[in-house]
Chains A and B, each alone.
Chain A
Amino acid sequence: MDDVFRAIADPTRWAILDDLVARDGQSLFEICTRVTMKHGIDSSRQAISQHLDILEAAGLVVTRREGRLKFHSFNGAPLAAIARRWLKAKGSNR
């Protein structure tokens, strides 16, 4: 679970996740384009690729291949596990 906390402790990775939530199944190029042009973040493709590796290792991003193409999507399950851990007691009181 600590890799999930580390993965979300970065504003560029928030921007990447925001965009993947807005549109599922993006190429690395599309993610880079959106991060640069929509969020005004000045990052190299290599840097974005490393951010994606961290998000993927934490389970927050999943990739799928279609032929030679590679697409990235958001996976909220690790966040749900965090929410359940601390919010379930509270939730049962509501």
Chain B
Amino acid sequence: MRVHVTSVFVDDQAKALQFYTCVLGFVKKRDIPLGTHRWLTVVAASEPNGTELLLEPDAHPAVKPFKAALVEDGIPFASFAEADVVAEHERLTRLGVRFIQPPTDLGAVITAVLDDTCGNLIQIAQARDA
């Protein structure tokens, strides 16, 4: 078994696609109409055949309270690898992205946490072992 697709719950798929591609830099992989919603995935630009991230509608009534509780405590819904967290923080800040935690050196890892504008916090992490 391997991870083929994972998801973030988004409040608006069109807005999410715009943010995850134009701002974060992912690339659209699949966009299949499914009634009112879409099977909408993005991949890392550097790994077009890598794990897909599904921009999944948060329409189920259980999801919004769940997301709100995570956000209140500052807990990221997902964590993405980044080669240079400090540089990415600068780039994204210039694009107007809101960080609730600037790059923080935690020893083994440098992390930062941003608001994806779709109801989630996302962590970016740079391993420092190499």
Binding site for B on A (CB under 8 A): 26-30, 33-34, 37-38, 45, 68-71
Contact = CB atoms under 8 A, between A and B. Distances in A.
Interface of B: 68, 71-76, 100-101, 104, 106-109, 111, 113, 121
A29 B73 contact: yes
B100 A69 contact: yes
Contacts of A30: 74, 100-101, 104, 113
Contact of B75 (A29, A38, A71): A29
B66 to A, nearest CB: 12
22 contacts: A27-B73, A27-B100, A27-B101, A28-B74, A29-B73, A29-B74, A29-B75, A29-B121, A30-B74, A30-B100, A30-B104, A33-B111, A37-B107, A37-B108, A45-B73, A68-B72, A69-B71, A69-B72, A69-B100, A70-B73, A70-B74, A71-B100
A71 B113 CA distance: 13
B125 to A, nearest CB: 11
B89 to A, nearest CB: 14
Nearest to A72: B74
B84 to A, nearest CB: 20
A70 B75 CA distance: 11
Max chain B Cβ within 10 angstroms of own Cβ: one of A26, A28, A30, A38: A30
A36 B30 CA distance: 39
10 nearest A-B residue pairs (beta carbon): A27-B74, A29-B74, A37-B106, A28-B73, A29-B75, A68-B71, A30-B101, A70-B72, A68-B68, A28-B74
A34 B74 contact: no
Contact of A29 (B76, B106, B107, B109): B76
A4 to B, nearest CB: 25
A70 B68 CA distance: 11
